[in-house]
Chain A
């Protein structure tokens, strides 16, 4: 019987919500947010705190304005990494992942159809425009300007890392496991040359010197030299033992070798020896270029570009984005740097991959916003339930017993009214570690005061009603009267307060998290805005600011709409007004 009475008192608020259009909209929105919180792992497209990476065929162009050099990002060439590029007499070629080949002619880039699918690491253009490309698993192919492809079979499926033309019909291919292949294009025959080291080091670069000999560089500072016409390379000693990634020798005999940890080896001409230079940054350098006059360029990971005038120090040049640059292509009028293998996708605007964009660490913001609903609703409902539990009981006891009990409880409420919320929460965090518990505690400690006052004033009038007197005469205990006779009558008010305080709690939690006082390592809407502000990027990245605030707003607004219709139940006088 008692349960049914309680049920009945809950029925009326529900009917009120269902009868009011705005409240119904509010209820629908709130239910979707609840669903979002419950199904957050399913709904989120990415792990919310995982760093997301991306690759693209980055293209940087060197620009000089008023003497200031800047490497500017041009629109990328497709979505595949570009690993190598070459240019000769008006024709440029760039190759990359999954057999991608781009042709540069007359200032425009166009993609070529290829029969190749393996990742390409090397490209070299012959004087007549025929281009040899090579890459993973022994892929080697020749492109001729009539746009036909001819593939060559290699003896083993080893990765080829670089190519050099020895003469018009012979190419040198170097690669993993100290592979050195001599390819005869006319016959298609491949001969394996024996390295004098034989320890399976990778060879990464090959270049032809002005005297017709070939330089081969690779792992652990390994350098080999193949004299013209000979098939047995000899070991060369270079300064340092870091992995060498690329070698370039200009027609004048000036040379540049780059490698890991900012390794830069420079040779001024054929007679000079290789000199190790100090780099302005010690990241991995992937490619280098030196002009006949000795003006040298080197590019590497994270958008690093170095330049050096002959005789001067190496300078770090500004570049637009932190792309991983892998190769250089020099034409008569332009310098291009190309890349980029997987880089952190920072501050990306909304796209099909990241619906709400990414933050400064490349984390998916849509997933963060979806997960943020969990904390908001947890604090909102738990805080409100706690508040109403404390407030309703204090109000009930104070209003029912009156006398000294009432005085003590209500004086306590008066004291609580003297405490400002945000500063109180700040002090709590100063004294104790920030955690979800502190947030909920701060919210509930300071909001029950309103509920207690409201419920008490209701109970004051209810306790004088005939049905309470009748219960007392019938011998009902105080507890029974309070909770079974009076409480169901203040239920509408309790529901109303519950709804209002859910909204208050959600805003309070967002505020604390925004100030950086929320639980660490958790994702909340206020926390997302805190990160945005802290990173300083919020001034540009609108996609970072907008969604969390809108979500907070519509959640709280929906709760307010629901509470407005509950108000009708709690205060029937209002009904006449609408």
Chain B
């Protein structure tokens, strides 16, 4: 067991290391690409003294290594600076946007995996049949279609053509919400959620479906399935109680990785549906040259991905006793 604990500690350290490297890369990438990040702030007609003052207020008059350490110290304290565009602390903006993104992505991913995995198991049972072929085809089709396009077509059909569902934002405007929970626990919000969540779910559907199907086919060859058959268990019971449970591991792994990447959002879905999430925010910050916001959004996304990847590894050690801790 001690080998397992030291393995976990090592993985956590690696995670922090990766985050540190990404933060460092980000810092130097920004300094390389934007020698003067305050350019977006400086308007015509400012005197050189005023420009210097603005630069000094952001600490840009100090040597680069000093700036770097201030940057790292601020990140550790959860201080991501001040947004040029919103004229507000970046941290406040990011947490709200991240929550908006997750409230869209989590239901969508749960839906995709909740439908995709059982469907994949069923397809493996009917392997070679017409249902199998068309299931694979549909899964791959939604995987191949760009999500923003599927979204546009969905808006055209269900939003504009049939008029069933709202096509943009999280709530019907104007509305006043006293807090995040107040904002999401309404029918109006659910109504707004359906279309974007469905589009994301359709895109993700293919991967649990195919992974589940292929792993199931591998599991069918194992001895314990033969054993179950020999005991005379019904085929359906073998499928779901014996084979599916053992085939679930790669699907769970993929689920965690997907959730990790979900923080980065599907920028395009948030853009197409005007969903005020982190992905759309990073696009806007790029457009408005709001570099503190862009930098911090990116760092938060990276942290999310790394954390979830770490979780995958920990999950693995718990779910699969065959994993070796080298």
Residues of A at the B interface (CB closer than 8 Å) are 411, 414-415, 417-424, 426-427, 429-432, 503, 507, 510-511, 514-515, 526, 529, 532-533, 538-539, 542, 545-546, 548-549, 552-557, 560-561, 573-574, 576-578
Contact = CB atoms under 8 A, between A and B. Distances in A.
Contact of B33 (A432, A507, A514): A432
A422 B286 CA distance: 12
Contacts of A432: 33
Given A426-B286, A529-B152, A577-B127, A552 B268 contact: no
Interface residues of B, number: 57
Contacts of A529: 146, 148-149, 152
Nearest to A576: B221
A514 B141 contact: no
Contact of B301 (A411, A423, A577): A423
Interface stretch (B17-25, B112-120, B231-239, B240-248): B17-25
A515 B271 CA distance: 8
Given A430-B291, A515-B271, 19 more contacts: A411-B14, A415-B18, A419-B22, A422-B267, A427-B29, A427-B286, A427-B294, A430-B294, A431-B34, A514-B146, A529-B146, A538-B156, A539-B160, A545-B156, A549-B150, A552-B149, A553-B146, A557-B140, A560-B140
Nearest to A432: B33
21 contacts: A417-B306, A422-B265, A422-B266, A423-B297, A426-B294, A429-B286, A430-B33, A430-B291, A431-B32, A432-B33, A511-B146, A514-B146, A514-B268, A515-B268, A529-B148, A533-B152, A538-B156, A549-B149, A553-B144, A554-B144, A573-B218
List of 4 A-B pairs having minimum Cβ-Cβ separation, nearest first: A431-B33, A420-B264, A549-B149, A556-B144
Contacts of B267: 422-423, 426, 511, 515
A411 B17 contact: yes
Given A420-B264, A421-B264, A423-B267, A507 B127 contact: no
A429 B140 CA distance: 30
Does more than half of chain A's interface fall in helix, strand or loop, or is it mixed?
helix
Nearest to B217: A577
Contact of A431 (B30, B214, B271): B30
Contact of A418 (B30, B140, B218, B305): B305
A554 B145 CA distance: 8
Nearest to A503: B144
A578 B217 CA distance: 10
Contacts of B179: none
A539 B217 CA distance: 44
B249 interface: no
A421 B268 CA distance: 12
Contacts of B32: 431
A553 B22 contact: no
Given A549-B146, A560-B144, A418 B33 contact: no
A560 B218 CA distance: 21
A432 B32 CA distance: 10
Contacts of B291: 430
B156 A423 contact: no
Nearest to A514: B148
Given A426-B267, A431-B29, A419 B152 contact: no
A50 B219 CA distance: 58
B145 A553 contact: yes
Nearest to B286: A430
B113 to A, nearest CB: 20
Interface of B: 14, 17-19, 21-22, 26, 29-30, 32-34, 127-128, 140-141, 143-146, 148-150, 152-153, 155-156, 160, 214, 217-218, 221, 261, 263-268, 271-272, 279, 282-283, 285-286, 289, 291, 294, 297-298, 301-303, 305-306, 309
A194 to B, nearest CB: 62
A417 B309 contact: yes
B282 A423 contact: yes
B146 A418 contact: no
A515 B283 contact: yes
Nearest to A539: B160
Contacts of B265: 422
A507 B146 contact: yes
Nearest to B145: A553
Given A427-B29, A577-B127, A545 B153 contact: yes
B289 A542 contact: no
Given A423-B282, A427-B294, A515-B268, A418 B149 contact: no
A415 B21 contact: yes
A422 B298 CA distance: 10
A420 B294 contact: no
B13 to A, nearest CB: 11
Given A539-B156, A553-B145, A578 B309 contact: no
Nearest to B278: A423
Contacts of B289: 430
Nearest to A558: B144
A73 B19 CA distance: 63
Contacts of B146: 507, 510-511, 514, 526, 529, 549, 552-553
A427 B298 contact: yes
Given A423-B279, A510-B146, A573-B218, A414 B298 contact: no
A572 B8 CA distance: 34
A548 B217 CA distance: 36
Contacts of B302: 418-420
A505 to B, nearest CB: 12
Nearest to B304: A420
Q: Most chain-B Cβ atoms within 10 A of its Cβ — which of A545, A552, A556, A577? A: A577
A548 B22 CA distance: 36
Contacts of A573: 218
Nearest to A573: B218
A421 B257 CA distance: 13
Nearest to A578: B128
A542 B34 CA distance: 41
A306 B78 CA distance: 63
B263 to A, nearest CB: 7
A555 B166 CA distance: 31
A419 B282 CA distance: 14
A349 B291 CA distance: 42
A297 to B, nearest CB: 37
Nearest to B297: A423
A426 B289 CA distance: 11
A109 B275 CA distance: 52
Given A419-B305, A431-B34, A557-B140, A426 B283 contact: yes
A55 B163 CA distance: 36
B305 A420 contact: yes
A383 to B, nearest CB: 16
Contact of A549 (B145, B298, B301): B145
A417 B256 CA distance: 13
